[in-house]
Each structure stands twice: as structure tokens, then as C-alpha cells.
Amino acid sequence: GITSALGDFCYESTTVTLPGFLAVLGIPAAALGLIA
């Protein structure tokens, strides 16, 4: 149960921070759709 919750938390934080991280690198958010 704890492992599942931790995995969900990591996934959610990644989906929230990744677009901002790509923006810092100068990659448009639309590229996220190609990556994922």
C-alpha cells in the first residue's frame, strides 16, 4: 500500500514539474505529448 502511494506521488509530481522543466530547457509543452 505504501509503495503504491509513493509511486502515485512520484508520478503526480513528475507530471506537474515536467512541463515547467521543459520550459526551462526551451522545449514547448507540446513536445511533452511526443515524449509521453
- Chain segment 1-36, per-residue pLDDT in tens: 888 888 888 788 877 887 777 778 777 767 667 665
pTM of whole model > 0.75?
Answer: no
Q: How many residues are listed for the chain in this entry?
A: 36
∠ Cα 2 33 17 (to 5°): 45
